[in-house]
Chains A and B, each alone.
Chain A
Amino acid sequence: MRNALAIANKELRGYFASPIGWVICGLFSLMFGYFFYAYVEVFLKNSMQSQMGNGGPMNINILLIRPLLSNATVIILFMLPSITMRTYSEEKRSGTIELLLTSPITDWEIIIGKFLGAMGLYCTLLLATMAHMAILFAYGRPEFRPLIAGYIGLVLLGGCFVSMGLFVSSLTKNQVIAGVGTFIAGLLFWVINWLADSASPTTSAILSYLSITEHFDDFAKGVIDTKHVIFYLSFITFGLFLTSKSVDTERWKG
């Protein structure tokens, strides 16, 4: 575990030693800020109308935080490939992978380390969005616990993208291919339930089960359902498992 933490630490420092980490943080905050502003505007307009008497009481959790978090997942879909794209491909291209693979550490320690490193940057992004939430708490009275559930959902969802990104990155030396590949794979899991309506009941159930976003809905509502937690955790584990197989295959190929 100490080795994994050493790798995680190296990865995280790597993001911020180069412009990558800062640019990702900046752009993510910019987009999230815009989403936040837009939803607050809509919310204000609606609450004004509701005060005029043609609407029920406004719930800030349901009408603002829930759609905001759901839509934030779009930014995550676009941003996370840029976090994971260099994890393995850059090490393979520059030859530093030889250092890692000839050090007295296991493949799993490297994978876990890289996963934690990328998650570290991702959680930093989420932490920055807490500032917006603090504004809501300062001027309104949103419920705290659904918000926590939403963030747990975001962390798990991001974990899926990161583990997928690690796998795609371990397949190629080329960062651009790794980035685009991860994005396309993520998008596929995003839209996979589109076909659910027209498919046979069994296929339909499978397709909607595989959809990354469908499992997020409950989290956005503030519900932590073990069903979804298990889905995300198995998705992450499977992604990391594929990565370990890919690294191992690469060894045999040389």
Chain B
Amino acid sequence: MIEVQHLTKRYGSFTAVDDISFRVEPGEILGFLGPNGAGKTTTMRMLTGYMPATDGKAIVAGYDVFAKPIDAKARTGYLPETPPLYPDMTVREYLTFVAKIKMPKKTTAADRKTRVEQIMKRTFVDDMANRHCGRLSKGYKQRVGLAQALIHDPEVLILDEPTAGLDPKQIIETRDLIRSLAGNHTVVLSTHILPEVAQTCARVVIINKGKVVAVDTPDNLTRQLRGASSLYVQVDVSGGDAHDTLVGVPGVTKVGVADRHDGVVGYELHAEQQRDVRRDVARAIVDRGMGLLEMRPMRMSLEDIFLQLTTQETKDGAGAPGANDVPPAEQAAAMVAEGDPNA
């Protein structure tokens, strides 16, 4: 569990993180999204106790990070932006050293050894166990970094761009690994790869210029930010025109042509909010003897939302939809399953 209350970090007159508050439930994966320089890394560094906050409070795994740093750190695993590896150590030596300083004091040497072997297997670095960290490829370095964060089986995992620099196969493996951690671990991960958030995270915090712009499930964000609901309808008009028919459907407020070729026209419909016009639209088209080829809800991609939220200054954090509601866990779980392209 992570609770962040009014966290603020100032460097002189520059405010890097400005009064951020959010909460991560146990076992949840939270995505931390924002353009470069938005304050993601600074926030993460405050959560891990690397740097103190100017103001505010952060509670990680039940311990105040600033009042009880050792207790909080013992329950936190952290993967910084650059994996903190010692180039002269082999992977096994390195993980053994990290195990020594991170695992509880009463752990025996034999237990530590088993744990190191186990975590190397889990993060797919066991084949490089005797290679020096400095001679590993970027992908392996990143995964040894992840192994380092996981070694003491922390309640909370904080990952700063965990998939940066990996090849597509490794990205998928790493995401699967992170997803498999949900439930037992509370995970916060930052990224600027947007689909990644949709695929791995139950909830998203979007921050810009040190402020929280939105907190919600990727699903809700897409839906609520769309404003009025809109549909894409592809119709085989066979020389005719479906425009009038569509305008005539009750609830439809606006009809536009999205694409047109060989007698097939794609329309973009806007409907009144909270009103499902799909049945009526389908019936109207079929009744006119035209072919309904495709109908799907149009959604803004996360990219659109991201751009909209981070470039629009009028829409402030408090006004963003659902800033305070916490989605039910099963919805979160469903999201994760749904967003998985490899499932």
Residues of A within 8 A of B (CB): 2-3, 6-7, 9-10, 13-14, 17-18, 94-106, 251-254
Contact = CB atoms under 8 A, between A and B. Distances in A.
Contacts of A96: 84-86
B85 A98 contact: no
Interface stretch (B93-101, B123-131, B194-202, B288-296): B93-101
A101 B101 contact: no
| Closest CB pairs A-B (n = 6) | A99-B84, A104-B74, A17-B88, A6-B100, A104-B73, A96-B84
Contact of A102 (B49, B86, B89): B49
Contacts of A95: 80-82, 84
B142 interface: no
B177 interface: no
Contact of B89 (A2, A3, A17, A254): A17
A6 B227 CA distance: 57
11 contacts: A6-B97, A10-B89, A95-B80, A95-B81, A97-B84, A98-B80, A101-B49, A102-B50, A102-B76, A103-B101, A254-B45
Interface of B: 9, 11, 42, 45, 48-52, 70-71, 73-74, 76, 78, 80-82, 84-89, 93, 97-98, 100-102, 105, 148
Contacts of B98: 99, 103
Nearest to B87: A94
Nearest to B105: A2
Given A94-B84, A95-B82, A106 B101 contact: no
Contacts of B42: 254
Contacts, number: 76
A6 B101 contact: yes
A101 B89 contact: no
B50 A7 contact: no
Contacts of B78: 98, 102
B89 to A, nearest CB: 7
Nearest to B88: A17
A252 B52 contact: yes
B74 A102 contact: no
B41 to A, nearest CB: 9
B77 to A, nearest CB: 9
Nearest to A250: B51
B51 A106 contact: no
A90 to B, nearest CB: 9
B101 A105 contact: yes
A98 B89 CA distance: 17
A4 to B, nearest CB: 10
A23 B290 CA distance: 85
Nearest to A16: B88
B102 A104 contact: yes
Which of A3, A9, A101, A105 has the most chain B CB atoms closer than 10 A to its own CB?
A101
Contacts of B102: 103-104
Contacts of B48: 102
Nearest to B45: A254
Nearest to B132: A17
A146 B166 CA distance: 62
A17 B11 CA distance: 39
A9 B50 CA distance: 23
Contacts of B11: 253-254
Nearest to A248: B52
